[in-house]
Structures are given as C-alpha cells and as structure tokens.
Amino acid sequence: MSSLAAAPAPDPQLQDFGSDPWWLVGGKVLAVFVFLVVTVLMTMWIERRVIGRMQLRVGPNRAGPFGLLQGLADGVKLALKEDIVPRQVDKIVFVLAPVMSAVPAFISFIIIPFGPTVSVFGHQTALQGTDLPVAVLLVLAMSSMGIYGIVLAGWSSMSPYSLLGGLRSSAQMISYEIAMGLSFVAVFMFAGSMSTSEIVAAQHDKWFVVLLAPSFVVYVITMMGESNRIPFDLPEGEGELVGGFHTEYSSLKFAMFFLAEYINLATLSALATTLFLGGWRAPAPISTVWAGANSGWWPVLWFLVKVFLFIFFFIWLRGSLPRVRYDQLMKLGWKVLMPFSLGWIMLVATIRALRNDGYEMRQLFIAAAVVAAVVLVATVVWEMVRGREDGEEVVPGAGQGPRTDPSAGGFPVPPMDAPHYHGRAREPVRPATIETPSEEVTSGTH
C-alpha cells in the first residue's frame, strides 16, 4: 500500500478534462479567482516594498504587519471614492470598457496547469481549470479582447489624452502580440501540441528555456510590451498623456483597470513558466534527488516560486529602466523582434526537419552557427550602410535643395532629423510688426 501511495500519478492528458463533477469545476473556478485576487494584493505589496528598497525608502508599513494589508486598504479606498462620470462621455461604453478589460484577464488563467493529477475528496483530477487543443491561443485571444476595453475607454472618454492612450495601446498590442505569437511557434514545434498540459509533459527531461533560448528572450521582451508596464507603459505615460486611457476614470472603474493590469502580469508570468520553465515541474537538482518532487501537491510550490520570480523580474525592471520613446518602441517591435522571430522559426524548422531525416546533431549545430554568422554579418553591414546614408551631409545645389534651418517656423513639431533636414527651403518666420499705440489711445485707456 505504501508503494502505491508513493507512486506518482500520471501526467494529465487532454482527454481527461471535461469529466469532473459540477462541484469540482466550480471549486476550480473559485480557487483560480481567489488565487488571482490574492496574487494581485501580494504583487502590489511586493512591488512597493522592493522598489522602496531600491530607492532607499521604507515602503508601506502601516496597514497590517509589514504593510501587508496596504493593497486591501487601497481597494477599500477606491470602492468608497466618488464615482465621477464626465458629462459628454458615451456612458454605456464608458461603463462597459473596464469590464471588457478585467473579465478576459480572469478567463486567461483557467488553462494554466498548477500541478499534476491529484485526489480531491476521492476524485482524481488535474490541478488545472481546463485544457484545450489550442489552449495557448486562448490566452492570445483574451489579451486581444482586453485591449478592446482600453481602446473603448479612451474613445468613450471624449478626451484627447484618453484617446491617444487608447490608440497607443492598440498599436503597441499589434506590434508586440505578433512577435509574442511567433515566439510560441518554436515551442509548438518541439511539443507537438498547443495544449498547456501536453507542453508541460514535453518538458519532463529538459526545459524549453534551454532548447529555445532565443524564443524565451523574445517572449520576455514582448510580455513587457503586452503588460503596458515600464519601460513600455506608453499608453498611460503621465508626462505626456496625464493618465492615458483611464484619465477620466475613478472609483471602482479605475480599480478594474488596475486589477486587469496586475492579473495580466500574473498570467504572462504563469504562461512563461508553463511554456519555457517546465510548468509545475521541480528544477533539475530537486527532481533528480527527490523522486516525489513532481507528485502530489508539491508541484504547486514549484509553480508559485517560478511565477513570483517572474513577477519580481517585472518589478526589478520597473525600478531600473526608464520609459522608452514611442518610436523606439515601435521600431523594436516591427524592425527587430518580428524579423528575428521569423528567422529563428525558419532555423528551428530546418533543424527539426534535418534531425528527422537522420542527420547528426553536430552537423546541425555547425549549420546553425554558419547561418547565425551570416545573419550577424548581414545585419552589421546593413547598419553600417544605413548609418552612412543617414550621416551624409547635403550639399546645396546637389539636387537636394539648399539646407534650411529645421527650427524655423517649427510649429507644432520640428523635423525629427533636425541637423540634416532634406526638405524644401522654407521662408523664415519674420516677427510681426507691433505698432506703438498713440498717445491719445494710451491716455484714453488710462
């Protein structure tokens, strides 16, 4: 009997989902909801304490022991504040936008596996809400739906700052979600499935962060852009957009946007853990020494440790990096991450095809090194040629027109390439002539 109890349960299979009783399904949904709410409160506390230490501050230390109840106090404060709705807003869309942003954030977490198959009141069930053949695509779909809430919040507020924040968020989502989806393709090729439980099962001997390190790097960068946090928090930049898409929101509506942001942070961290860090599986030293590390309820601990390490990484970046410019953000997404992801997918597919045909791994690594060297040399040459073209000085009379002062009449915005403006000559702005008032008018006004 003891040997049977010590034997680890088999990994969850896709066909095992959908047969749980109703009370167990409801319990899983409730557990996921409570876990996300508690994770948001803990993340807020950790973020304030960590950034406080990084900036030589104390952080929250009044509400509860060590300030642990500060997040709960903030939630109560937001709930009791006056709900201000501007007069000219589209009220229906204005109210629905926070809901459309928060609800998809909760739905995304339902396909994340917390652990293997366990016994709950005599029923064998997987520690996962549900699973689908295309479960990872559900996360991408829900993150896209959450952007609708942000865009509609900016549009319905009838404020230029809110509208610009919503438009920024949509452009940022398009550029970074494409690169994020491309980083998943290599994982799908190695796992042979889009199911999260089967992806975790495919990492039983080696995590994908080792095999697919470039995909992992691309995902880490895109997950920062997807979460709208520093250094990529352009949709709510306080310096230029006041508060961005939620400028006109207050009370519980603002709290729902706040909640959605932190839930997305937890979801992206859990997805990175599932796809690249072995999911709920214990790290190599623990799993090799302890045979029962990946059975029972212990995998929940390994999963939580990995997720909160990712959350700490997010917080560390927020306290370390400045906000990038919007043109730098778009250039990174469209000109760097997407071409690199496409090239990496082609390389991974080629290596997989050659290995299936019986080629040795040594030959494949040599071929991959040659391809990487060619790409690197081509990139360096391209940057040199482009830098030379951008650095050429325009000579007057050489077909480009005379050099002009780019700041002359530069309203509302001067040209980006101010030292080398290749535009048409503009008439200098002459100061307007101000007539001196006559003595009669001056004496009459006084």
Instruction: Give Cα separations from 377 to 46, 133, 213, 336 (angstroms).
Output: 43, 40, 21, 15
- pLDDT at residue number 273: 92
- Residue keyed to tokens 């940022």: 172
> What confidence score (pLDDT) does residue 442 get?
44
Say what the pLDDT of residue 387 is. 55
Q: How many CB atoms lie within 10 A of CB 164?
A: 20
Burial 175-199 (b: 16+ CB within 10 A, else e): bbbbbbebbbbbbbebbebbbbbbb
Of 353, 331, 351, 352, the closest CA to residue 340 belongs to: 331
- Specify whether the CB–CB gap between 130 and 18 falls below 8 A: yes
* Residue 60 and residue 45 in contact, taking contact as beta carbons nearer than 8 Å: yes
> For residue 68, what pLDDT is reported?
86
CB atoms within 10 A of CB 216: 21
- Across 173-298, the runs of DSSP E, i.e. the strands, are none
Measured from the Cβ of residue 322, the count of other Cβ atoms closer than 10 Å reads 7
- Residues in the chain predicted with pLDDT less than 50, given as ranges, are 1-7, 392-401, 410-412, 418, 420-426, 436, 438-446
Cα three-residue angle 94-96-98, rounded to 5 degrees: 85
Phi, psi of 423 (to 5 degrees): -95, -175
Task: Give the bridge partners for 117, in sequence order.
Answer: 126
Q: How far apart are CA 67 and CA 349, in angstroms?
A: 50
> Buried (b) or exposed (e) across 223-255, using 16+ Cβ within 10 A?
bbbbbbbbbbbbbbbeeebbbbbbbbbebebbb
Cβ atoms within 10 A of the Cβ of 440, count? 8
Residue range 407-419, pLDDT digits in tens:
555 444 555 554 5
Looking at residue 226, its pLDDT comes to 76
Selection from 136, 139, 129, 133 nearest residue 108 by Cα: 139
- Beta carbons of 118 and 297 less than 8 angstroms apart: yes
**How many CA atoms within 13 Å lie on the side-chain side of 264?**
26
Q: Which of 142, 172, 37, 152 is nearest to 98 (CA)?
A: 152
pTM of the prediction?
0.76
90 φ, ψ (degrees, to nearest 5): -80, 100
Output the pLDDT for position 275.
92
SS3 call for 202: coil
In the three-class reduction of DSSP (H, G, I as helix; E, B as strand; rest coil), residue 118 is classed as strand
* 110 close to 130: Cβ distance less than 8 angstroms: yes
- φ, ψ of residue 123 in degrees (nearest 5): -105, 130
The secondary structure of 250-268 as a DSSP string is: -HHHHHHHHHHHHHHHHHH
